[in-house]
Amino acid sequence: MAGTFKVACIQNCAERDMAPSIAALEPLIRAAAGAGADLIQLPEMATMIEPRNPLVLEKAVPEAADPGLAAFRRLARETGAWILVGSLLFKEPGGPRVVNRSLLLDRTGAIVARYDKIHLFDVDLPGGEAYRESATVRAGGEAVVAPTPWGLIGLSVCYDLRFAYLYRALAQAGAVFLSIPAAFTYTTGKAHWHVLARARAIETGSYVFAANQCGVHAEDRRTFGHSLIVDPWGEVLADGGESVGYVMAEIDPAKSAEARARIPALKHDRAFGESGAATTMRAAAGE
């Protein structure tokens, strides 16, 4: 496994149109690369947070025509950094919905891997907040582990964070880094973001890279920020707070093997039956 490297998580406040969002991201990417970042991660929906579903479908374009992806591929070539595009919304042929796709770019701008978000955010939150991601997004169906010069990285997006089995599968497939770009709402982020990100690192003995959107977006949509880099023992190495910018940390891939040797839980899966578990629970309750 390769030696240490530096990861940066960019934290932006995407607008409802792509052009200003891309313009705001470009100097942040250059600044992170200039500070020595080898891998730069962007948040979910990095170039567009459009609250109105019909407008999402109107504004999204196919992957090959997306101006954000073109800009990020160019910036990878310019800076020599790998760029993990947290996610972009792409139109796909043959359907009325888009895909929420994460892409890993190497330092030449080539697309190394694609992952379409599996778990979609359909919830009603206290205070009247409601989200129906499935109204515009078609769910993906495949987990993805991708190669980097430093080891394998498991790809995911935002709401996936709540489904621990996905990260266990990624780690058991060899991932030592977990990518969790997000646009976590302020309400859910304040309650759960840090706990869940640290839990995924601890459960799998993996580094977690979690760039998150921040600030107030169109029509008062608010995201939590606090982009995180977490080590395999669950320690937060960097926290982006609530302002636009980036955070960076040095990553030692050997720390993953050390954590997994100390707590080898990834090797301790056991099958169990629901009926047996129910019997045990009844007995424990004195029935």
Domain boundaries, the chain: 5-284
d(CA 4, CA 172): 22
Q: Which long-range contacts (CB under 8 A, 24 or more apart) does 270-278 make?
A: none
Q: Give the pLDDT score at 286.
A: 46
Catalytic positions are 44, 117, 158
Global confidence as pTM: 0.93
Q: Give the pLDDT score at 281.
A: 45
With a cut of 70, list the residues of the chain below it in pLDDT. 1, 276-287
Q: Are 259 and 233 in contact (CB under 8 A)?
A: yes
> What percentage of the chain carries pLDDT values higher than 90?
86
Nearest to 259 by CA among 237, 232, 234, 236: 232
DSSP tally for the chain: helices H, then strands E: 8, 17
Fold for the domain defined by 5-284: Nitrilase/N-carbamoyl-D-aminoacid amidohydrolase (3.60.110)
Q: Give the pLDDT score at 275.
A: 74
Q: Give the pLDDT score at 278.
A: 55
Q: How far is CA 261 from CA 21, 93, 198, 200, 271, in A?
A: 43, 46, 18, 17, 22
d(CA 56, CA 8): 28
Helix (H) or strand (E) holding 103: strand 98-105
